[in-house]
Amino acid sequence: MMMSWSWCKTTGRHEAEGTKKGSSSAGRVAAWLLLSPLLVLVVLKTDFLPTVSRTDTGLGNAKWQQQHYPHGPEAVKADMGGSASRLTCNLSNRHSDTCTMEGDVRIHGRSATVYVVAAASNHRRPENSTVTVRPYTRKWEQETMARIREVTVRYTPPPAPFGSGVIPPRCTAVHDGAPAVVFSTGGCGTNFFHAMSDLVVPLYITAREYGGRVHLLVTDYRPEWVAKFRPVLDALSAHPVVDLDSDAAVRCFPAARVGLESHNGMLAIDPTLSRHGYTMVGFRDFLRSVFSLPRPWAWSSSRPVISRPPRLVMVLRRHSRALTNEADTVAAMEDLGFDVVPARPEDVADMGRFARVVNSCDVMVGVHGAGLTNMVFLPHNATVVQIVPWGDMKWACWYDFGEPVQGMGLRYVEYEVTAEETTLKEKYARDHPVFTDPQSIHRQGKAWATFLDGQNVTLDIDRFKAAMQQVFQSITTG
């Protein structure tokens, strides 16, 4: 089950306004995305197939052409000749459509078209075949995907000897033999959780294997996103990031991937789906190296940091889900023996600097929100305490942060606020559905406005302190 609401759909839409450009025909993708569950696999290989296998018949609107050619011995010959072009698309993943291609790949940014040029050696020329991909990883969320620029992947015959030479276009920039990865930053990357879960983790899964010998080509280019993640992008690619939207060049590559691979769950890597067995623990090691973070391991009874008590970072929010009794909460944590680092939004804004603060800590505490994503910088075996706001939010909070924590080599503790601990009680009577039937608010599509944007939290200090006492003990006594 996917959540019916998300930051991406609500706030993300407004943030995208004004920066949106070059997006095409939002309506068409909606029909396309509604056709789930799709199990579609398209394989195109030099001069013999477009083959398409599928288990669903409702594909009338799909914008690729289905063709079958029996492949004769000459096709195999073309392969062996070393000039084969091959295109494989997987359109059955729930998170993203991806195409992999090799051979003669020509990318024209301005028209968002990727040409995969078939070898000339065969007398039977393939028909043109077209697959369109929105290279972002929230395929199930139409509202978000409608903002993503569509990239057309065209499997095309070689230029005719006396033809106009328009399709496929001539290369104007030939790179160094490294492949390309094409993806969009147009989704929800201004939110740190989405930036990590929708983009950085999938980019790691897709591009890390090239060891820096890869070109990153970005559609819906957001300079502020690229600037923020510059250290990560520099670690993944030795080449400058290309803004494809206005790129007039025809860039040619021996291989390319269009769309990022993304595994089930948030902030997740499934080692069994990763070609190289990547894991979230490995991803965190990668980030630790990118940001030169010194601590691989957290404070524990088996590894005490002799000179100081366990350190706790409190991620504090401002406009919603803020702690109204911040100072009392900090004092209570200090009473327990923690060295407390309060982190306000202005402290968190500089990612590199805050990564070092987080890495110096052994526990992270915060009300559900994007700031908790900074857990990726914690040392192994550290503890994350998620404060779940009022409103039957347990499952959603678990999905975003609880479940990912396990795969990261961290420990997870959840603290669910009671009806006494939410400022909603100042707005609604206790017999209001907000308290008696929170699910009904979810069903009306008002969960975001009511429970996420609409409440602050006043922790019951005794109750919270008791929960945190257990965390302190589990760290210091093993």
Ligand X SMILES: *[C@@H]1O[C@H](CO)[C@@H](O)[C@H](O)[C@H]1NC(C)=O
Q: Under the rule (CB under 6 A), what is the footprint of ligand X?
A: 41, 90, 92-93, 127-128, 167, 297, 300, 302-303, 318-320, 322, 381, 423, 454-456, 474, 478
Mind spelling out the 3-state secondary structure of 335-367? HHCCEEEEECHHHHCCHHHHHHHHHCCCEEEEE
Comparing CB distances to ligand X, the nearer of 11 and 423 is 423
The length of the chain in residues reads: 478
Minimum Å distance from CB 42 to ligand X?
Answer: 10
User: Is 325 within 8 Å of 459 (Cβ atoms)?
Assistant: yes
Distance between CA atoms of 259 and 282, rounded to whole angstroms? 22
User: Is 261 within 8 Å of 98 (Cβ atoms)?
Assistant: yes
Comparing CB distances to ligand X, the nearer of 127 and 437 is 127
Tokens found for residue 239: 């080449």
Comparing CB distances to ligand X, the nearer of 276 and 319 is 319
Residues 151, 154, 158, 160, Cα dihedral to 10°: -90
Minimum Å distance from CB 326 to ligand X?
Answer: 9
Distance between CA atoms of 456 and 426, rounded to whole angstroms? 10
- Geometric angle at alpha carbon 339, from 335 and 342, rounded to 5°: 100
Please state whether 211 falls in left (phi above 0), alpha (psi between -120 and 50) or beta. left
Minimum Å distance from CB 304 to ligand X?
Answer: 10
Tokens found for residue 266: 């948030």
Residues 6 or more apart in contact with residue 468 via CB below 8 angstroms: 332, 333, 336, 338, 365, 385
Residues 6 or more apart in contact with residue 53 via CB below 8 angstroms: 40, 41
Minimum Å distance from CB 451 to ligand X?
Answer: 10
Minimum Å distance from CB 154 to ligand X?
Answer: 8
Instruction: Give the Å distances, CA to CA, from 275 to 133, 297, 364.
Output: 21, 27, 32
Helix (H, G, I), strand (E, B) or coil at 203: helix
Minimum Å distance from CB 463 to ligand X?
Answer: 21
Residues 291, 476, 335, 320, Cα dihedral to 10°: 50
User: Is 187 within 8 Å of 11 (Cβ atoms)?
Assistant: no
Comparing CB distances to ligand X, the nearer of 319 and 430 is 319
Phi, psi dihedrals of residue 272, rounded to the nearest 5°:
-75, -20
Comparing CB distances to ligand X, the nearer of 241 and 298 is 298
Comparing CB distances to ligand X, the nearer of 377 and 451 is 451
Comparing CB distances to ligand X, the nearer of 19 and 92 is 92
Cα dihedral sign for 162, 163, 164, 166? negative
Comparing CB distances to ligand X, the nearer of 41 and 281 is 41
Minimum Å distance from CB 225 to ligand X?
Answer: 26
Comparing CB distances to ligand X, the nearer of 206 and 237 is 206
Minimum Å distance from CB 130 to ligand X?
Answer: 9
Comparing CB distances to ligand X, the nearer of 19 and 381 is 381
Comparing CB distances to ligand X, the nearer of 272 and 307 is 272
Distance between CA atoms of 345 and 371, rounded to whole angstroms? 8
Minimum Å distance from CB 41 to ligand X?
Answer: 5
Minimum Å distance from CB 301 to ligand X?
Answer: 7
